[in-house]
Amino acid sequence: MNLNLRRWPAALILAVALFAVAPIKQSAATEAAWARLAQGGYTILLGYARTPGGEPLRPDLGDCENRKSLTDRGIQEARRIGMRFAARAVAISAVYSGEFCRALETAQLAFGRSNVETAPFLNSIVDGADPAIIPPELIVAVEEFFGAGNQLMVTHPALIAAISGSVPRKGEAVIIAPGLEPGDKPRVVNRLLLD
């Protein structure tokens, strides 16, 4: 067996160099996303924070106060997301949440209880709805949003996947803008790692 030990140091150096470059690319992409949001006029889609699971499909807003919708780690994640936006001084003009307690609690912890408005069109999986179908109300909300700040929507990963083509990681936001033609699916313009 001939291992040619002279090639190993070069291969090892190359592997370490490639591994070191990956975080730099991710960091640069995140900085570009923050710069885009500083311009305003975008919609930010964010999945809810970590949950213990088991929430019924039908939302029950009357019971959100008594239900533990997020894990302790999820509560920390939601608060950290709000702090990241505050630290970057990115203007958020409006915050919307689905009616599920886990989405509502994530939005309220991150951006303040009084700043969140519920939007049924962000409940992508209620009443057997196909999660691949983007609600027309969401498309209209993205198309009609204009302003100096951005609007943020906390929803289910299935709806974000229907728009972006992939399920976001925990702590990853997807930045969208209107489609090319009225009524078209919103287009993804960037992704933002928050966690």
Sheet bearing 116-118, strands edge to edge = 116-118, 92-97, 150-155, 43-47, 172-177, 187-193
Residue carrying the six token digits 């974000």 = 160
Q: What angle do CA 122, 127, 131 make, to 5 degrees?
A: 55
Lowest pLDDT segment from 12-21, 99-108, 129-138, 167-176:
12-21
Q: What is the pLDDT of residue 60?
A: 60
All structural domains of the chain with their residue ranges = 7-193
pLDDT at residue 116, rounded to an integer? 95
6 token code pair: 């002279």
**115-127 pLDDT per residue, tens:** 899 999 998 665 5
Angle at 187 between CA 77 and CA 193, to 5 degrees: 25
> Does the pLDDT value for residue 132 go beyond 90?
no
Q: Report the DSSP beta bridge partners of residue 71.
A: none
Whole-model pTM: value is 0.80
pLDDT digits (tens, 9 = 90+) for 21-66: 444 445 666 788 999 999 999 999 999 998 887 666 555 666 777 7
Q: Which CATH superfamily is domain 7-193 in?
A: Phosphoglycerate mutase-like (3.40.50.1240)
- The closest alpha carbon to 72, from 54, 55, 52, belongs to 52
Q: What is the 3-state secondary structure (H, E, C) of 15-41?
A: HHHHHHHHHHHHHHHHHHHHHHHHHCC
Question: Is the pLDDT confidence value at 95 over 60?
Answer: yes
Q: Tell me, what amino acid is at 47?
A: G
Distance CA 79, CA 138 (A): 25
